[in-house]
Structure 1
Amino acid sequence: MLATGKPVLIFHLDLVPFSIMNDIFISYAHLDDKPLTEGQKGWITKLHRILEVRLGQLLGEEPQIWRDPKLSGNDVFDQSIAGEFKKARVMVSVMTPRYVKSDWCVRELSGFIDAAEEGGALELDDKSRVFKVVKTPITADEVPDKLRDFFDGSLGFKFYDYDADTGRVVEFDDVFGKEAEQNYYARIFDLAHELSDLLKRLRTGESSEAAYQVASAGKTVYLATTTSDSESERDKLKRELVERGYAILPTSSLPIDVDAIEERARDEMAKSDLVLHIVGQRYGLVPEGSEESIPVIQARLSAQLDKERSVPRVLWFPHGTNTEDKRQAEYIESIRQDRELNQRAEIIADELDVVRNTVLELLTEEKKSTEPESLAPTGATDASAKNSVYFIYDATDEELVESLEDHLFDQGLEVMVPEFEGGEEHIT
């Protein structure tokens, strides 16, 4: 029973065969799908279409995405909606001021969460089956109590930014210009990558242990949470690393209590192969019981852990070292002065490309140092290993590959391609 006295609809998701389940249920307020201009598609409609295409490309098959295109804000929450809950592996909740004021939107989300928790399957490892998409900013006071834990505990995907000159919200939509449109597509691709990863696990019915083994097969990066002025840089770097197969921690928002923050951050850093901090122009939120901001706490912990075990650390200043925030200026100065604390850290005040390449080099070097020599191909030399490229592609794409093959050959690389003509014994 909800605090309002209205019944919660509970569904036993574990009783629904996976073969008839939808992959995604999109929960949204219909007011947020109204076009801003004549002839334009609604924001939710575009999200649905683009996500369907991109997710299909990542999964290798079309995903089953359900949303209700008919209900208005006054329609009752009936069994036509309830039935779809039973068939959803994942919910994508599009958060806006209207969403949190809508009784039936809140009931959709809380009903899905309650049903998943009752079945013991709200999370797979650290991955929640509910994805928070924030279209328009919401203050903490606007969030209903029954959704507070979900709202505070999920990092989510923000589809907006703030204008540097006016401080006003700029939603990621083509009506706000080319940059906003590009950010819109980039963020949907981020969302699609994480949905793809979770859906692959859910579709195959992997156990938690099996999923962990898959995740731990690659490298893990602790990408420390940062201040609002540097979130876009964090998102871009995260996108680059995820697309290369690296796992990223933390996967959800850090607690608000300093002791809980330190325990969680220390534990996750200990599991990571590299720790990266983004030092912005703002000092950041100071949690309960602390005099340090959350970014500073994380940096201090990683420096302490660095004394216990040698793990690459990177401190990135995407906006340089100038700041009008007095506390942040003092913190930046402490980084410069305390060489003992940061003696093994890579300190970079440069563009994203430089940071990305540095991170990849550090991760690759560590991987090479831990791999046994027996893994190298017999008879292969360093030169041949670095200067050979083997293409794998379908025969129908042969013409498309030719220009790239020629370019690589011109760069001094040995290019090897499959042979599609002849009998089976001649096909590579």
Structure 2
Amino acid sequence: MKFNKEIHLYFSEEDNQPIEGAAKGWVSNFHKFLSTLLSQISRDTADIKLVSESTIDSTPIDGTAVVIAVCTPALASSTQLTTALNTYAGELKQNDSLINEGIARVFKVHKSPFNEDEALPELENVISYDFFMIDPLTGDAQEFKRFFGSDAERSYWMKLVDMAYDIHQILQDTSRKSKVVSEDDVPREKTVYLASTGVDMVIQRDIIKRELIRHGYKVLPQHTLAKEVGQLEHQVSEDLHKCRLSIHLIGEDYGYKPKGSEISVVDIQNRIASNHTYEMVDYNKSAKEKKPFSRLIWVSPDLKNVTERQKIFIEDLKSDAAALEEAEVLQIPLQELKSIIREELVTGGRFQREHREIAGYERENTGSKVIYLIQDKSDVKDTGMLRKFLEDSGYKVVAPSYSGDLIDIRYIHQENLRRCDGSIIYFGNAKEAWIKTKLQDLLKAPGFGREKKLKAKAVYFDGQKAVDMEHYERNNALVLGNNGGFKPEHLKPFLTKLEK
């Protein structure tokens, strides 16, 4: 199918009424901003033709390289517009031309939430570009009427830049007359499953997706997830088999429930990815050609308004991930997550770990038992007396690293978990969520290559804490201190267990 280099923007005139007394409406502003971005990217004037109810008869769609549809109830009610869009999308499908290198030639734009599947069935599986903001407190969608400011910069302009680059990619491929890239042309090692998220994690997901694509990775899913649970599960499973890594971003929103399911789409993707991880572990035990697969679950460190349902979901995720080296729960800043993702994909992560020399260890056996004192950076001074007592008692004490590259810091932490005889987690200034994460790391130690059983583990409370003590009992962790100030006798239960 031959294409020209035209771009058509389909919209209903009802959606372009002047905004709050301004001269231009939503569509006119969108048209102006997108044209400017495309001109900057291509270094050529971008001509985007506006097509509405009054101009559709004089604007033939045949051969158009890129079609943009502002999907709203008004557009869905226009038979002229929807017929043209469905007919063209159907022709593209018949010619296997709708998708080019993972990008659809027809771009669905939402200025507010709307399901256009009934009116535009030929575009049902095309991923939309959502240009609206979700209120973090109420969860309500807010249409942009002001296009500048911090909120617009994150939710509107970031998405618009992505869209402009995708359109530019389509136009470049059209001018080169390039063939559609098949699935086999993209290696599994360069393919990542980035799970769909709750509404509060959409921006973070876009940031990760942009990073991956800019570094040459293919990101799945490249289609809208099915709304019926059976079809959705099949789609997710198929996509995961093509991937080297799956990434799941967890926030305060549990996510919507597809038809026929009692759990959310976020939960479903995690469960299928968990099962897939176990399957790949079993496969790699006997396979001649290994197919490494790992799973990163990022829990936002800024959670505030979390429902009981979401708390249970997050705890289940941590427990499930603790059983496998190939799955890891991270509750770190987003910037640090990007470094971890890069380690997994570029260096092979834990699958290519070098057993290099690290500070604090000697390779030869000194005979001293090693205690890993896990402490937050803010607590280093407060643990001075505790550490001195342990060292004076003949133990070798190692601690986390706080400087250098994030990947090295993570490696040292895992190496300490792998080698120590016992571990004490110091609960001082750190939040309880951080303490629980470190307890999970102790459970995962065998996955990091630990061969011997951990003799003793404890959480040392610097003063009383209003926490659920049963959590620590369930994790078989001794609770030390808990009444203020360091005293050597606090350590007696731990050291007795360590020496058994």
> What TM-score does the superposition give when structure 2 sets the normalisation length?
0.61
Of 151, 161, 170 in structure 2, the residue corresponding to residue 179 of structure 1 is 151
Aligned to 1:30: 13
| CA distance 1:334–1:113, change in 2 (3 Å) | same
Aligned to 2:450: none
Q: Secondary structure at the match of 2:256?
A: coil
| CA distance 1:183–1:228, change in 2 (3 Å) | closer
On the 8 A contact 2:254/2:310 being kept in 1, the answer is yes
Deviations 1:134-155, CA, capped at 9 Å, x for gaps: 01222x4xx47341452x4232
Aligned to 2:165: 193
- Report the alpha carbon displacement of residue 285 of structure 1 after superposing the two structures with TM: 2.7
Aligned to 2:127: 155
Moved more, 216-225 or 239-248: 216-225
| CA distance 1:124–1:144, change in 2 (3 Å) | closer
- Report the alpha carbon displacement of residue 177 of structure 1 after superposing the two structures with TM: 4.7
- Report the alpha carbon displacement of residue 368 of structure 1 after superposing the two structures with TM: 12
- Report the alpha carbon displacement of residue 198 of structure 1 after superposing the two structures with TM: 2.8
Deviations 1:243-279, CA, capped at 9 Å, x for gaps: 3332211011122333322322122122222210011
Q: Give 5+ residue unaligned stretches, structure 1.
A: 1-13, 371-428
- Report the alpha carbon displacement of residue 212 of structure 1 after superposing the two structures with TM: 4.9
Of 257, 260, 272 in structure 2, the residue corresponding to residue 286 of structure 1 is 257
Q: Secondary structure at the match of 2:297?
A: strand
Of 111, 114, 118 in structure 2, the residue corresponding to residue 145 of structure 1 is 118
Deviations 1:266-301, CA, capped at 9 Å, x for gaps: 221222222100112232233344443222222122
Larger radius of gyration: 2
- Report the alpha carbon displacement of residue 186 of structure 1 after superposing the two structures with TM: 1.1
| CA distance 1:203–1:42, change in 2 (3 Å) | same
On the 8 A contact 2:189/2:345 being kept in 1, the answer is no
| CA distance 1:169–1:220, change in 2 (3 Å) | same
Aligned to 1:48: 31
- Report the alpha carbon displacement of residue 40 of structure 1 after superposing the two structures with TM: 4.3
Q: Which structure 2 residues correspond to residues 212-361 of structure 1 after superposition, within 5 A?
A: 212=183, 215-216=186-187, 219-307=190-278, 308=280, 309-318=291-300, 320=302, 324-361=306-343
Cα separation, 2, equivalents of 1:61 and 1:180: 26
Q: Secondary structure at the match of 2:267?
A: helix
On the 8 A contact 1:33/1:42 being kept in 2, the answer is yes
Q: Secondary structure at the match of 1:48?
A: helix
Partner AA of 1:273 in structure 2: R
- Report the alpha carbon displacement of residue 124 of structure 1 after superposing the two structures with TM: 3.1
| CA distance 1:166–1:337, change in 2 (3 Å) | closer
Matched, 1:133 2:109: yes
Cα separation, 2, equivalents of 1:204 and 1:212: 20
Q: Secondary structure at the match of 2:266?
A: helix
- Report the alpha carbon displacement of residue 120 of structure 1 after superposing the two structures with TM: 4.3
Q: Which has the higher contact order (CA 8 A, sep 6+)?
A: 1
Deviations 1:336-382, CA, capped at 9 Å, x for gaps: 33354454323222222111121122211129989xxxxxxxxxxxx
| CA distance 1:76–1:244, change in 2 (3 Å) | closer
Partner AA of 1:246 in structure 2: Y
CA RMSD of aligned residues (A): 3.0
Cα separation, 2, equivalents of 1:200 and 1:213: 22
Deviations 1:45-73, CA, capped at 9 Å, x for gaps: 232233233234444544443224xx6x5
Cα separation, 1, equivalents of 2:203 and 2:214: 17
| CA distance 1:103–1:169, change in 2 (3 Å) | same
On the 8 A contact 1:22/1:66 being kept in 2, the answer is no
> What TM-score does the superposition give when structure 1 sets the normalisation length?
0.70
Cα separation, 1, equivalents of 2:306 and 2:148: 29
Q: Secondary structure at the match of 2:6?
A: strand
| CA distance 1:61–1:221, change in 2 (3 Å) | farther
Partner AA of 1:145 in structure 2: E
Cα separation, 2, equivalents of 1:294 and 1:334: 16
Matched, 1:202 2:202: no
- Report the alpha carbon displacement of residue 222 of structure 1 after superposing the two structures with TM: 0.8
Q: Give 5+ residue unaligned stretches, structure 2.
A: 281-290, 353-500
State, as a whole percentage, how many aligned pairs show the same letter: 26
Aligned to 2:463: none
| CA distance 1:171–1:87, change in 2 (3 Å) | same
Cα separation, 2, equivalents of 1:356 and 1:175: 28
